[in-house]
Amino acid sequence: MIDKTFACAADAVADIHDGATVMIGGFGTAGMPSELIDALIARGARELTIVNNNAGNGDTGVAALLKAKRVRKIICSFPRQVDSHVFDALYRAGEIELELVPQGNLAERIRATGAGIGAFYTRTGYGTLLAEGKETRMIDGRHYVLEHPIHADFALIKARYGDRWGNLVYRKTARNFGPLMAAAARCAIAQVHEIVALGELDPESVVTPGIFVRRVVEIPAPSGAAVAAPPVESHR
Amino acid sequence: MAARVARDIDNGAYVNLGIGLPTLVANHLPPDREIILHTENGLLGMGPAPAAGDEDPDLINAGKQPVTALPGASYFHHADSFAMMRGGHLDCCVLGGYQVSVAGDLANWHTGARDAIPAVGGAMDLAIGAKSVYVIMEHQTRNGESKIVERCTYPVTGLACVNRIYTDLAVIDVTPVGLVVIDMVAGLAFTELQRLSGVPMRDAMAAGPAE
């Protein structure tokens, strides 16, 4: 029997090693797998390369991982925000390396890894600082930049529902990078609000097929909080 | 400015409004037009902010503010969302700007200052991907320098990508023959607009019948 469910977040991240590249889902805090990140902090792995859209908000989640000085490099599109003080301080002190990537290139470079694409040409960034030193090519009269996939050892993502095969259904705009990172990482770890029995998820509505997911941990949404699950939103 | 942009967005258009000033355009969209707003974090059919108390942290816009989803809305992941942008599916995007050049180069992501922490987000994808790129910005900096320039001195977001500029003084089309003023605020003379601008412009309104 296939059973990808793990009893707790700590078990699910127990083999994330020093120097690993870890993709972390979420756009701001929507879709950020905070409990998996907390478990990763407790696990103690260092010198990590993190791939995320942002570089932490406030003092929790990705920001807490940065604050714990576990991150050597971050690959992201939008580090500077009103509440990115943890990253800002590390960056100004020269204690973290930043690879800034246009958001669509970030998404596509992650997607490319999962889809087995060696590299791709895109118009985004042509003629800008973020394409400096990169190979370019004229195709049908337009300029393109060659971009390479981003590989990762692990992905930490968050979804609404999962099952023991690893099928996932997300919630609203918290989906963002989850499906892409699941396919890209060698080991994708999903925290879900609820693990449901096999067959309960409508196959027509599964967003991430289980083949892309190695581990599933149930982390119920905090009760009473604004993140409380909607009343039996039809996941069928 | 936001209201003036809104007037130019057609019925049926798929539109992305950038963070900041462009977001305000949503408040002025004519109610008799059906316009579908895209937010790059993964929603088509974005509605207005929810009532106080109804905020959902899983339902936000690109500026990470709570929003709503209208009937007919759809959610999608980032690769699909950016395919909509990069693949030329959006009719229009509205972006803020530090500078726009005569050639339509846009600078809006980085001041280039040594101590500045850069952030780019989806600006470069929108700049090259939307069918029409509208930039909304003050005509001049606080120091009285024109933000419409011969060449951008800030790092560019995209080359020759801007179609139209909306400032607090005028609406200006970027065309192959240069900048053409198609609208001005009431009471402003074209000569005065020209004086406040860093580069030559043509007055479409004074041009008489189209050539």
pLDDT at residue B112 in the model = 86
pLDDT at residue A223 in the model = 64
Closest-CA residue to A191 (of A164, A213, A159): A159
Residue with tokens 């990253």: A87
- Write down the CATH number for the domain with range A5-116+151-218: 3.40.1080.10
Burial class (CB in 10 A: 0-12, 13-18, 19+), A234: exposed
Residue with tokens 């972390």: A24
CB nearest A175 (choices: B42, B56, B124)? B42
Q: Answer whether A173 sits within 8 Å of B60, measured CB to CB.
A: yes
Taking CB atoms and an 8 Å cutoff, what residues of chain A touch B115? 92
* Helices of type H across A2-47: 9-12, 34-43
Residue ranges covered by each domain of chain A = 5-116+151-218
Domains for chain B: give ranges and CATH numbers: 2-206 (3.40.1080.10)
pTM of the model: 0.95
Taking CB atoms and an 8 Å cutoff, what residues of chain B touch A106? 78
* Helices of type H across chain B: 2-7, 78-86, 123-129, 190-196
Q: Phi/psi at B171 (nearest 5 deg)?
A: -115, 125
Distance between CA B67 and CA B84 in Å, rounded?
Answer: 20
pLDDT at residue A43 in the model = 97
Residues of chain A with pLDDT below 70 are: 223-236
Q: Quote ipTM for the complex.
A: 0.95
Taking CB atoms and an 8 Å cutoff, what residues of chain A touch B161? none
pLDDT at residue A186 in the model = 98
Annotated catalytic, B34? no
B76 touches chain A (CB under 8 A): yes
pLDDT at residue B198 in the model = 84
Minimal-distance CA residue of chain A relative to B65: A28
Q: Answer whether B117 sits within 8 Å of A91, measured CB to CB.
A: yes
CB nearest B155 (choices: A105, A106, A129)? A129
Residues near B196 by beta carbon (within 8 Å), at least 6 away in sequence: B139, B140, B146, B169
Burial class (CB in 10 A: 0-12, 13-18, 19+), B105: buried
Q: Answer whether B155 sits within 8 Å of A104, measured CB to CB.
A: no
Distance between CA B190 and CA B188 in Å, rounded?
Answer: 6
Mean pLDDT, consecutive 10-residue stretches, chain B (211 aa), reads: 96 96 94 97 97 97 96 98 98 98 97 89 97 98 97 98 98 97 96 95 75 44
